[in-house]
Amino acid sequence: MSATILDGKLVSSAKREEIKHTVSGMNEKPGLAVIIVGDDPASKIYVRNKRRGCEEVGFNSWVYEMPATTTQKELDDKIDELNEKNDVHGILVQLPLPAHLCESEVTERIVPEKDVDAFTSQNCGHILKGDAHLLPCTPAGIMEILKYYKIDVSGKECVVVGRSNIVGKPMAQLLLAADGTVTICHSRTKNLADVTKRADILVSAVGKAHFITRDMVKSGAVVIDVGMNRDENGKQTGDVDFDAVSEIASYITPVPGGVGPMTISMLLQNTLAAAMNIMNWRGSLQ
Ligand code: NDP
């Protein structure tokens, strides 16, 4: 058996077309403001891609580049200013921040209705309750891939490896909300392979190349690889030993080209949802 590839680029471009179509019928353009502090090269690439995504679907976008010496107060003031701006519907602070700045203070300062990364405690609470309208981008992108390929989660054994606030925990919540039977694993999990082998749907968000090997996967499982790593040759690779696992899985996401392309599309989706929500309050939606 050879697994069907879950093509994140395909699902991502379908999502962007859908967003573009919705935006073309709106009176006012959704707007995303991105703040980047310092000169981290990877962060600069992510921010550039977010800006391009905004252009592609017809959003306004603003990038605020702040120096690495920015103080907490200066950053807080910038967020307060963007919280107040009517044409800004989504605010994102690119992480990581320089060490002297407090990420959680920054995250919590964004008003929940503009929190398009869904990192505020209020939005995390909604995710836990299952009534969120702004969803964490990477896990939401994975749910879109499953939906696109008509992979039903209901009643399935779902195993998520990784428990970060950005990926693992919200991923588990979204699978639970879709009626999966969910187990979360982490670095203290005993006999990890025994747990992962039970999975009908296995999501790996660990950050270690070749971590999920063939003997950890049940035959016919759906395997979702969130990892973004470099292997010993500097090649971009996920957590999953792709060649060996794709021989026994039913579906698998590649790296690159799987989960990665969905993340920015779901950020755009959240910005659209935030804009529609804010415009609705103001009664300016067409
Ligand atoms: P974190 O480092 O925050 O979390 C990693 C998780 O893996 C932790 O919960 C950790 O457990 C767990 N882990 C580490 N070692 C083991 C082990 N031996 N056995 C079981 N679990 C283990 O990473 P993130 O969640 O932020 O990201 C994970 C990966 O996904 C990274 O490669 C990242 O680059 C990628 N990523 C990709 C995105 C995309 O758009 N494609 C978006 C976001 C992330 P513990 O909690 O016990 O330490």
CA of 285 to the centre of ligand 1 (A): 39
Residue 193 CA: distances (Å) to CA of 182, 212, 217, 254: 16, 9, 8, 21
Mean pLDDT, rounded, of the chain: 96
pLDDT band at residue 1 using 50, 70 and 90 as cut-offs:
low
Residues belonging to the active site: 50, 94, 117
pLDDT greater at residue 1 or residue 137: 137
Q: Atom 24 in ligand 1: which residue has the minimum CA distance?
A: 164
User: Which tens digits make up the pLDDT trace of 118-166?
Assistant: 999 999 999 999 999 899 999 999 999 999 999 999 999 999 999 999 9
At 23, is the pLDDT very low, low, confident or very high (cuts 50, 70, 90)?
very high
Report whether pLDDT(284) > 60.
Answer: no
Residue 185 in contact with ligand 1 by CB distance below 6 A: yes
User: What residues does 64 pair with on adjacent strands?
Assistant: 35
Q: Is the CB of 267 under 6 A from ligand 1?
A: no
**Burial of 145 by CB count in 10 Å (0-12 exposed, 13-18 middle, 19+ buried)?**
buried
Would the CB of 168 count as within 6 Å of ligand 1?
Answer: yes
Ligand 1 centroid distance, CA of 191 (Å): 18
pTM assigned to the model: 0.96
Q: Is 227 in the pocket of ligand 1 (CB under 6 A)?
A: yes
Q: Tens digits of per-residue pLDDT, 192-211?
A: 999 999 999 999 999 999 99
| pLDDT of amino acid 133 | 87
**pLDDT on residue 231:** 84
pLDDT tens digits, residue range 227-278?
999 988 889 999 999 999 999 999 999 999 999 999 999 999 999 999 999 9
Q: Is the CB of 97 under 6 A from ligand 1?
A: no
Cα 221 from Cα 230, distance rounded (Å): 25
Instruction: State the distance from the centre of ligand 1 to the C-alpha of 164, rounded, in angstroms.
Output: 6
Q: Is the pLDDT of residue 14 over 90?
A: yes
- Ligand 1: does its nearest atom lie under 6 Å from the Cβ of 255? no
pLDDT tens per residue across span 32-45 = 999 999 999 999 99
pLDDT tops 60 at residue 285? no
Is the separation of the CB atoms in 29 and 59 below 8 Å? yes
Cα separation of 64 and 84, whole Å? 16
Beta bridge mates, 5: 252
Q: Provide φ and ψ at 158, rounded to 5°.
A: -115, 130
For residue 110, give Cα distances in angstroms to 17, 97, 117, 126, 167.
28, 15, 10, 16, 20
Site to substitute for ligand 1 among 203, 226, 239, most atoms within 8 A of C-beta? 226
What's residue 220's pLDDT?
98
With 90 as the cut, is the pLDDT of residue 18 above it? yes
